[in-house]
Structure 1
Amino acid sequence: MTRFESASPGARATLIAVGLLLLAALATVFTVLIALIGVGRFSSDIDPLRVPAWLWHYRADPDLRRWLRIGGLISGFISGVVIAAVLLAQRRPLHGAARWAAERDLRRAGLRAREGVVLGRNGAGFLISGGPEHVMLYAPTRTGKGVGVVIPNLLTWPGSVVVLDIKRENYMATAGFRAAAGQRVLLFDPLAADGRTTRFNPLGHIDRTNAPAVLDELQRMAVMLFPGHDHADPFWSEAARTGFIGVGAYVAETPDLHFSLGEVFRQLTHGDTRTRFPDVIEARTLGGSPLSSGCVSALTDFCSSSENTFASIRQTITSRMGLWLNPLVDAATAASDFDLRDLRQGDLSIYLGAS
């Protein structure tokens, strides 16, 4: 690392300013020298101190003005070449130019905020990022990510949080404190053997009476549940999405059924699905409560495959929804005790556990 690179920002700015002033002075001298030569006034016994007065006296002379312009262009070109050469010569140091941040660097980076994400601390206090930037922490297992960063932030962050807390360690350490601070604290742990979990129905926010909204939300969910793969036949994932959407829309449009993923799974695995749904479509039409056109189209497409193909499609769907074989998961997702939109109010803390 050169002395210039290791200097403080203020010192570097001063050095750059001095260098530019010197370059400008040399360019001015060179311009005047070219002008004097051009008008035939340059000699070995010329007095440099009298040159400015002479230039001012003959400032209106067209020949002098022309040579000053020529000299200025030549000096400007040479100055540009010099500046470009200096910039191109600034290569990255062989061993890098990293250094520890000084206090001014921390403040310039916005790491001395009063509120925000706690990143750490140094001798002058805590390092807190108060900006809108995302923060990612990457470290090996058992290196203190939880006790050093996660828990301190859960004890200081005033707004809503969603915490992926597989072992429930963060919940045990911080839930009581956040509740005492006025937060509504919830633990979603659908596999908890003691049933100690809040409930969340991923379909609970959908207005089941609005068929277009139901299809739109089910399509979004189907893409997440049955993603396509680059090196696989897209038919199976697309067919699985269609079947899921059709059965989900049927559940939504049947008031006697609970609109949940568990119920969708039960409808897919109950009886001979391939022959049952065409009968349902016909019965609903004759009974005066027909299913929506989108639901009928999806179910018809789903059930129109050959027996073997249909079995494979249904297996694709049920294999992705196998969690709902567990009655604990089914019960935990049958209804919602909260609305995810409440996170925007800033007083909701949700811990996601997996016992």
Structure 2
Amino acid sequence: MKPKINNAVGPQVRDRKPKKQRLLPALGAVSVLGGLQAATQFFAYTFNYQDNLGGHINHVYAPWSILSWASDWYSIYPDEFMRSGSIGMVVTTVGLLGVAIAKVVTSNSSKASEYLHGSARWAEKKDIQAAGLLPRERTALEVVTGKDAPTSTGVYVGGWEDKDGKFYYLRHNGPEHVLTYAPTRSGKGVGLVVPTLLSWPQSTVITDLKGELWALTAGWRQKHAKNKVLRFEPASSNGGVCWNPLDEIRIGTEYEVGDVQNLATLIVDPDGKGMDSHWQKTSYALLVGVILHALYKAKNEGTPASLPVVDAMLADPERDTGELWMEMATYGHVDGQNHPAVGSAARDMMDRPEEEGGSVLSTAKSYLALYRDPVVARNVSKSEFRIKDLMNHDDPVSLYIVTQPNDKARLRPLVRVLTNMIIRLLADEMSFEKGRPVAHYKHRLLAMLDEFPSLGKLEILQESLAFVAGYGIKCYLICQDLNQLKSRETGYGPDETITSNCHVQNAYPPNRIETAEHLSRLTGQTTVVKEQITTSGRRTSAMLGQVSRTIQEVQRPLLTPDECLRMPGPTKNAAGDIEKAGDMVIYVAGYPAVYGKQPLYFKDPVFQARASVDAPKLSDKLRIVAEPEGEGVTI
């Protein structure tokens, strides 16, 4: 027999064993047993078996009794056995004939291939449990030993209703990252972000527009999750925490120049579009030298070092810039010797023509204009926490990066600097023991970045998604739609790798056809069996002339772009508040897509109680800084 071609793809198809035809062999066996039973009963009837009182015995004998009787008595009653055998042969023949007819009918019947064009389907409960979004059922051993049922933990990625209408929260606790597509005012905050922040017990970094997440979640995280809650709002002087980017430079080590270069790149490229112009590149080189000079002066003389100080050095009205270049070229930075990077930057400026040097200087100062705001300058003049504290403090730390809508655009460079440093400084060390990585942190970190494409292209974020999970960092990235993510101007371009590195993707009903097409492709192709009926003959006649039925397999997306666009969204009242949750789709790599339901934290009494805990009036501070130029002491 020719072996069947191995062309099955996908676990739900490959693991599907072909059905063995058991009905027809069973009917054949029944036919043989029926013939033996008929022969046995006829033989017993022929001899008119009676009991001891003379009554007839109404007894059913075993089918094979005729065989044992023939072995004992055939020589005495040959005619009776022949008649009984004939009866049995007739019954067996009729049964086997029926089996043969059934075999012919089934062989000539058409069968549809349910996986001909694709095998996509919606996930069932066992699929969701296998994907790790729902706790599995207790095993028999766990029931016997009295162990509790496994519970689901981690970030909230959606909800799901079973056939009985029971609602389940879907949570993911693995190291893999999550990417969400959700338009503005679609309910992603109340459905995904707030429930996650009201349950995630470890450290987290949150981009918080308008401070809503601080108001709803900081109180519970501080009082019940035992987190240190930090509110970094650079444009506000009301109880926030201060942070100086220059304090994160590892001055005096082999990493100092690289750290300063990374910082200067973010300063002169505030939108992440790359340094294409001559003035950007030259001002970048200048800023590297000036920042290093300010840091070494702070180290040697105790003077303050911050971005406002760097701006003041370049824009000092009482000092000619030539004096600054000379100071940088002659200052004893390291053991009385001039630092080569600082001296080179100063020499470049002295060698330039006056007009070009003035243009380079004015370009560099334009990138530092943000730090002339006294409120921003005060908030970046000292560090009341350090980046390493997020994962290595005694208690978990929750950092809320708050930017009001009016200040969002001008604060973007500073937020980019902070986000970049968080990723770069917390994913810099890994060691192995017995072939396994060893954690160098006390707490995992969740990076909850809402509207992250609005920060501009952060190359470090795109590149680090492939490896930061090994350092205990889990990213939860939220964007409005695929266009925002793939934008050439403000996003990561059509060749982005963020979608490739996010194991879980979930989506609310989209507004753009490009996002709907992407979600449709993620869902996959399925096979639909279509029956076509053709009739012939007059409709007024007693019987139609002919009716033919044709079965045809048709390919279609499990979720078409049109159906994706028309997924029911949340129901809102006249004030715009959500009253009823809408639908959503959740994708986990390697598993069928989940057609889910949006969770709403205010419909859950537990979340409602947690959100009601008042947020603190003042931010926690992890370090006490006696003076702006002080180093700070960890508490």
Question: Any conservation in 1 of the 2:326–2:346 contact (CA below 8 Å)?
Answer: no
Task: Specify the alignment match of 1:106 in structure 2.
Answer: 128
Residue from 315, 319, 332 that aligns with 1:269: 315
TM-score, with length taken from structure 2:
0.40
Q: Could you tell me which residue of structure 2 aligns to residue 59 of structure 1? A: none
What is the identity percentage for the equivalent residue pairs of Structure 1 and Structure 2?
28
Counterpart residue type for residue 343 of structure 1: L
Measure the CA separation in 1 of the matches of 2:13 and 2:274. Answer: 53
**Equivalent residue number for residue 214 of structure 1:** 256
**Corresponding residue to 1:223 among 231, 254, 265:** 265
1:195-214 equivalent positions in 2, closer than 5 A: 195-208=238-251, 210=252, 212-214=254-256
Match of 1:119 among 157, 165, 173: 157
Q: 1:344 is matched with which residue: 381, 384, 391? A: 391
Alignment of 1:274-289 (within 5 A): 274-281=321-328, 284=331, 289=336
Normalized per residue, the structure richer in helix is 1
Q: 1:109 to 1:258 in 2, by over 3 A?
A: same
Task: Note the alpha carbon deviations across 1:245-278, whole angstroms, 9 max, x for none.
Answer: 1111111111243121111111111145541223
Deviation at 1:290, TM superposition (A): 4.7
Name the amino acid aligned to 2:315: T
Q: Deviations over 1:304-334 (max 9, x none)?
A: 2112111221222222222101011111011
Q: Residues 112-151 of structure 1: matches in 2 within 5 Å? A: 112-113=134-135, 114-122=152-160, 123=166, 125-151=168-194
The 10-residue stretch of structure 1 (223-232 or 141-150) with the greater mean CA deviation from structure 2: 223-232
- Check 1:305–1:263 CA distance in 2 against 1; reply closer, same or farther (3 A cut): same
What is the aligned partner in structure 1 of residue 403 from structure 2?
A: 354
Secondary structure, in 3 states, of the residue corresponding to 1:278? helix
Matched length: 271
- Cα deviations by residue, 1:268-308 (Å, 9 ceiling, x for unpaired): 111455412233246646xx945322211122213321121
Q: Measure, in 1, the Cα distance between the counterparts of 2:116 and 2:380.
A: 59
Q: SS of the residue aligned with 1:236? A: helix
Moved more, 183-192 or 295-304: 295-304
Task: Find the counterpart in structure 1 of residue 211 from structure 2.
Answer: 168
1:117–1:130 Cα contact (<8 Å) kept: yes
* Cα distance change of structure 1 residues 106 and 139 upon mapping to structure 2, 3 Å threshold: same
Q: What is the DSSP-based 3-state SS (H/G/I as helix, E as strand, rest coil) of the residue aligned with 1:253?
A: helix
Change (3 A) 1:137 1:215: same
In the TM superposition, residue 236 of structure 1 has moved relative to its aligned partner by 2.1
Corresponding letter in the other structure for 1:341: K
**Partner AA of 2:228 in structure 1:** R
Matched, 1:185 2:223: no
Residue 291 of structure 2 is aligned to residue 245 of structure 1 = no
Deviating above 4 A after TM superposition, structure 1's stretches of 4 or more consecutive aligned residues are 228-231
With over 3 angstroms needed to count, the CA separation of the structure-2 counterparts of 1:236 and 1:249, relative to structure 1, is same
- Structure 2 unpaired stretches of 5+: 1-7, 22-113, 136-151, 161-165, 405-635
Could you list the per-position Cα deviations for residues 2-27 of structure 1 after superposition, in whole angstroms to 9, with x for gaps in the alignment?
xxx9xx94896122x759xxxxxxxx
Contact 1:185 1:349 in 2 (8 A): yes
In structure 2, C-alpha distance between the alignment counterparts of 1:267 and 1:109, rounded to whole Å: 56
Return 343-352 or 289-298, whichever deviates more: 289-298
Contact 1:155 1:177 in 2 (8 A): yes
Question: In the alignment, residue 302 of structure 1 is paired with which amino acid?
Answer: M
Give the 3 Å change call, closer, same or farther, for CA 18–343 of structure 1 in structure 2.
farther
Distance in 2 (alpha carbons) for counterparts of 1:229 and 1:333: 25
In the superposition, relative to structure 1, how do residues 99 and 245 fare at CA in structure 2: closer, same or farther (>3 Å)?
same
Task: Determine which of 309, 312, 332 is the counterpart of 2:359.
Answer: 312
Assess if the C-alpha contact under 8 Å between 1:115 and 1:128 holds in 2: yes
Is the Cα–Cα contact under 8 Å of residues 330 and 343 in structure 2 kept in the other structure? no
Contact kept, 8 Å, 1:183 with 1:347, in 2: the verdict is: yes
**In angstroms, what is the RMSD of aligned CA positions?**
2.9
User: Shift in Å at residue 241 of structure 1?
Assistant: 1.3
Cα distance per residue 1:186-232 (max 9 Å; x no partner): 1000101x432100111112344x16443221111122222486794
Matched letter for residue 279 of structure 1: M
- Taking a change above 3 Å as real, the CA distance of residues 263 and 212 of structure 1, as seen in their structure-2 partners, is farther
Change (3 A) 1:309 1:229: farther
Letter in 1 for 2:350: C
TM-score by length of 1: 0.69
1:104 to 1:270, Cα distance in 2 relative to 1, 3 A: same
More strand by share: 2
**Partner residue, 2:111:** none
Contact kept? 2:249, 2:259, Cα under 8 Å: yes
